[in-house]
Amino acid sequence: MIKFAVIIQKGSPMPIPGDLLTTAMAVMPHKNVDRALEMALGLDVPFWPQLPHYSYYEDMYVQASEHFPGAVVDFEKRTLRFSMDKFIAELEDCLAHFEELEYFDISRTYSSVYHRFLEHDFSDRKSIRGQMEGPISFGFNVLDQDDRPIIFDDTVRPFLLEFMAKRVNSQLSRLKQLHPDAFMFVDEPGLQFIFSALSGYSDQAARPDMENFFSMIERPRGVHLCGNPDWDFLLGQDLDILSLDVYSNGEIFSKYSASIKRFLDRGGVLVWGIVPANFEPFESENLNSLEERLEEIWQELTSRGIDREFLLSRSMLSPATCCLVNPDGEKTVEKAFSATSLLSTRLREKYHLA
């Protein structure tokens, strides 16, 4: 695959919209597919929901495991494991399909929700978005027959990187058939663990792996995570968009102003996850307090030399995190979606954004 980079000059058009438009994380607590799709389609940049409470097939790790040699999914116990013997037995068949892009797309079996999403007309939207679990999180989460994360296996890990890149490219190609400015999130909730001395797979090891992984992915591409990694590391990756939980991590994130400025100047877009989706923090906030919290972060960045108007042109809004465990089921998550839209409308009017 040809490796390439696109440098977008400051102020030039970009395929990913900014101007404080809304999107959200894909994992949702809903069991009703129609309602989940209604919520996702209600945002400016819609996405297809991942609904593990509806079916274990709709779990983000399980969906990423489709066709992965060695994957062992127990749908009754709701577990995903890895077998090296099974990997060896299945690898040849997988490699026989390696140049077939459609082979790596998500089948109807592994997500009926995804295929329902593909039936919609998005011609009036500025963009649409998909997502796929990233190799670092998948590699940490999936254990082999010896209860060892497969990220540590020097044979499996390089294959995992290429396999997941093909999965991202396949979905992006499918989405671009519906909208020319579709883009992808690579979900990496486990990325923050590489910065722990106890992880066994350090950021020094992860850096070339991540650079290789993103070099294999078509643009536009980006990362979503809710944790708190080394932001210099992540902002330095060749990404077009970065989605993060600034409700919890905004004060820390704003200290990385130099890296943020470089990311924005080369065409990057930030998705500010500002509205909490968890019950208790959501109940403690309102639109005024969330607006104040977000503008404090922006003011910090402005004071460090980032132009406010340019920053907002490269920004979107979203809920802060996914949440599957609220005591009121999906109600708070739906309120968070609504609050995100209301906050977007308020701020877009305040800053005269089209």
pLDDT of residue 6: 34
Whole-model pTM? Answer: 0.93
Is the pLDDT at 199 greater than 90, yes or no?
A: no
Q: What is the pLDDT of residue 316?
A: 98
* Choice between 64 and 194, residue whose per-residue pLDDT is larger: 64
Segment 151-161 shows an average pLDDT of: 96
Question: What are 1-53's pLDDT values in tens digits?
Answer: 333 333 334 444 468 999 999 999 999 999 999 999 999 999 999 999 999 99
CATH: 3.40.50.720, 3.40.50.300, 3.40.50.1820, 3.20.20.210. Which one for 21-350? Answer: 3.20.20.210
Which two structure tokens, joined as six digits, stand for 26? 């894909």
DSSP-derived letter for residue 59 is S
Q: Are residues 290 and 274 in contact, defined by beta-carbon separation less than 8 angstroms? A: yes
Q: Give, in order, the Cα–Cα distances in Å from 201 to each of 190, 195, 205, 211.
A: 12, 9, 6, 15
Per-residue model confidence (pLDDT) at position 11: 41
pLDDT, residue 1, reads 33
Cβ partners under 8 Å of residue 280, min gap 6 = none
Give the pLDDT of residue 9: 40
d(CA 321, CA 249): 11
Question: For the chain, which residues make up each domain, given as ranges?
Answer: 21-350
* pLDDT for position 349: 97
Q: What is the DSSP string of 256-324?
A: GHHHHHHHHHTT-EEEEEEE--SHHHHHT--HHHHHHHHHHHHHHHHHTT--HHHHHHTEEEEES---S
Residues 6+ apart with CB under 8 A from 140: 149, 151, 190, 193, 201
Give the whole-angstrom CA distance, residue 339 versus residue 271.
15
Q: CA-CA distance, 149 to 135, in Å (whole number)?
A: 12
Q: Specify the pLDDT at position 14.
A: 61
Mean pLDDT of 134-148: 96
Q: State the DSSP code for 106.
A: P
C-beta of residue 61 within 8 angstroms of C-beta of residue 133: yes
For residue 191, the model assigns a pLDDT of: 85
Rounded Cα gap, residues 102 and 105, in angstroms? 5
pLDDT, mean of residues 245-257: 96
